[in-house]
Amino acid sequence: MRDVAVVGAGAAGLHAAEALRRAGYDGRLTLIGAEPEPPYDRPPLSKHLLGGEWQPDRLALRGPEALEELRLDLRLGVRAERLDRRERTVRLSDGGRVRCEAVIVATGVRPRRLPGADAPRPGAHVLRTLADALALREELRAGVRLLVVGGGLLGAEAAATAVGLGAEVTWLTSTATPLAAVLGTETAALLAGLHREHGVRLHRGVATGLLERRGRAVGVRLADGSELAADAVLMAVGSEPATEWLAGSGVPLDDGVVCDAYCAAGPGVWAAGDAASWPDPRTGRHHRLEQRTNATEQAMHAARNLLAGPDGERQAYRPVPYLWTDQYGLRVQVFGRPGGAERFEVVDGSLAEHRFAAVCVRDGLVTGAVGIASARALRGLRAQVAAHGPWPPEQSEQA
């Protein structure tokens, strides 16, 4: 194999390229990125970069010398527009074509917007790219009314950062306890309380569209007919896989690139990161993980399996999902899927102290673990999450 293209120059794309080189691949390696910047880290966008603590250069995942050592044909600021599997080429937005005997899809996701808000306009923001973060940062100053729409981690982190800069923040969510599906009800309630203590106004409702005045977003309209006014609106209402360029290619698409357990989506095509959908080893159902750690681990896995080939020593990808979020000086860490747990058992510390590790149980089986400032105890629960066994573990020993 002499030509491999990695489409997507974020964390997944970069780690796929590095894994290929580490495994001995010495052919042509093209890394294609839609943004003009070299590979950078996205998690700090809603925290350190948005808050002004970091400047853009600090986000770089690798310096110029490290990128040079990878011997990449680096195509930045251009989008992949079409994959032709018969011709084995990727067509680019600048008219160029990249030959590839194999391709790793690592194009990630694009942010969703409110209905009717597809066209850019002043005062309306999303937060996915460096350019997005810098544009929002320009709006944030003391007294500015920021309306954050969406009850996920991105919205929560942006709200915490903005209120720390002196903005008047309203956080609009559709659920009574935002983040419960991600962190579990107990941890989510703790964070919601912290948001309120720091001055964030939590408002429950569903936004149906932007309010505009003279071409600028000035708030949102809610499903109940009411309105929320703001000086700036952050739409943190989820995302969708950036896979439109694969339409008509024969690559299976269904909420992402449909892969097998080895990250393969068909002959010559692999996928990794936010855009990849592969079978959950526990349920067999296809799923995606929009998590930074998964992007890195799955990319390396896909690269190794690509080089192994269909008859080589491929390994199924069976991760233990992991995520973290930093809010108000606390780092919340999560293994597995705490959301929907029927039982939440603290095994170290206490929620009241904001230092704890807890196991989450559903149908008698461990589904996740979550903790704050209790890293050692939380790491001890990782194996229980991976095993998806009964809790307490003595039950399995007595059986």
pLDDT digits (tens, 9 = 90+) for 318-357: 999 999 999 999 999 999 999 999 999 999 999 999 999 9
**Structural domain includes residue 70:** yes
Nearest one of 283, 284, 255, 275 to 367, comparing CA atoms: 283
CA distance 22 to 105: 19
Give the pLDDT score at 243: 98
Domain boundary among 308, 340, 361: 308
How many CB atoms are closer than 10 A to CB 345?
14
How far, CA to CA in Å, does 240 sit from each of 108, 112, 118, 237, 244?
9, 7, 14, 10, 10
Q: What is the CATH number of the domain that holds 173?
A: 3.50.50.60
Q: Are residues 252 and 228 in the same domain?
A: no
Give the pLDDT score at 1: 81
pLDDT at 377 exceeding the cut of 70:
yes
Residue-wise pLDDT for 2-58, tens only, equals 999 999 999 999 999 999 999 999 999 999 999 999 999 999 999 999 999 999 999
**Structural domain includes residue 229:** yes
Task: At 180, give phi and psi (nearest 5°).
Answer: -60, -35
CA distance 58 to 130: 12
**Structural domain includes residue 272:** yes
Q: Which domain holds residue 43?
A: 3-110+240-308
Nearest one of 210, 181, 183 to 194, comparing CA atoms: 183
Q: Are residues 136 and 228 in the same domain?
A: yes
Nearest one of 94, 51, 98, 105 to 251, comparing CA atoms: 105
Taking residues 195-206, what's their average pLDDT? 98
**Structural domain includes residue 318:** no
pLDDT at 396 exceeding the cut of 60:
no
Q: Are residues 298 and 354 in the same domain?
A: no
H-type helices in 71-129, by residue range?
none
Give the pLDDT band of residue 395 (cuts 50, 70, 90). low
Q: Are residues 159 and 117 in the same domain?
A: yes
Dump strand ranges (E) for 214-294: 216-222, 227-229, 232-235, 239-241, 257-258, 264-266, 269-271, 276-279, 286-287
Q: Are residues 106 and 117 in the same domain?
A: no
Give the pLDDT score at 399: 47
CA distance 160 to 212: 25
Which residues face 29 on adjacent strands?
A: 4
Q: Which residue has the tokens 């499903």?
A: 223
pLDDT at 398 exceeding the cut of 50:
no
Question: What tokens were used for 387?
Answer: 């095993």
Taking residues 301-313, what's their average pLDDT? 90
Sheet containing strand 145-149, edge to edge, reads 124-125, 232-235, 145-149, 168-173, 201-204
**Structural domain includes residue 17:** yes
How far, CA to CA in Å, does 115 sit from each of 29, 119, 134, 142, 318?
40, 10, 24, 29, 37
Q: Are residues 95 and 118 in the same domain?
A: no
Q: Which residue has the tokens 């923001």?
A: 125
CA distance 73 to 70: 9
Please check whether residue 368 is in contact with residue 336, taking contact to mean a CB–CB distance below 8 angstroms: yes
Q: Are residues 289 and 364 in the same domain?
A: no
Instruction: Give me the helix-helix angle, 185-197 and 153-164, nearest 10°.
Output: 20
Give the pLDDT score at 165: 97
Taking residues 308-313, what's their average pLDDT? 81
End-to-end CA distance of the chain: 51
Biggest CA pair distance of the chain: 70
pLDDT at 156 exceeding the cut of 90:
yes
Please check whether residue 273 is in contact with residue 106, taking contact to mean a CB–CB distance below 8 angstroms: yes
Q: Are residues 199 and 264 in the same domain?
A: no
Residue-wise pLDDT for 244-259, tens only, equals 999 999 999 999 999 9
Q: What is the CATH number of the domain that holds 390?
A: 3.30.390.30
Domains: count for the chain: 3
CA distance 319 to 11: 17
Give the pLDDT band of residue 283 (cuts 50, 70, 90). confident
Taking residues 148-158, what's their average pLDDT? 98
Q: Are residues 89 and 45 in the same domain?
A: yes
CA distance 331 to 213: 39
**Structural domain includes residue 321:** no
Q: Are residues 70 and 160 in the same domain?
A: no
Q: Which residue has the tokens 């149908």?
A: 363
CA distance 280 to 388: 12
**Structural domain includes residue 320:** no
- CA contacts within 13 A on the Cβ side of 266: 12
Domain boundary among 184, 217, 237: 237
Q: Are residues 195 and 52 in the same domain?
A: no
**Structural domain includes residue 133:** yes
Taking residues 143-157, what's their average pLDDT? 98
Sign of the C-alpha dihedral computed for residues 234, 48, 289 and 100 taken in this order = positive
Give the pLDDT band of residue 310 (cuts 50, 70, 90). confident
pLDDT at 84 exceeding the cut of 70:
yes
Residue-wise pLDDT for 217-275, tens only, equals 999 999 999 999 999 999 999 999 999 999 999 999 999 999 999 999 999 999 999 99
The mean predicted confidence, pLDDT, of the chain is 96
Domain boundary among 178, 208, 237: 237
Q: Are residues 188 and 333 in the same domain?
A: no
Instruction: Give me the helix-helix angle, 11-22 and 292-308, nearest 10°.
Output: 40
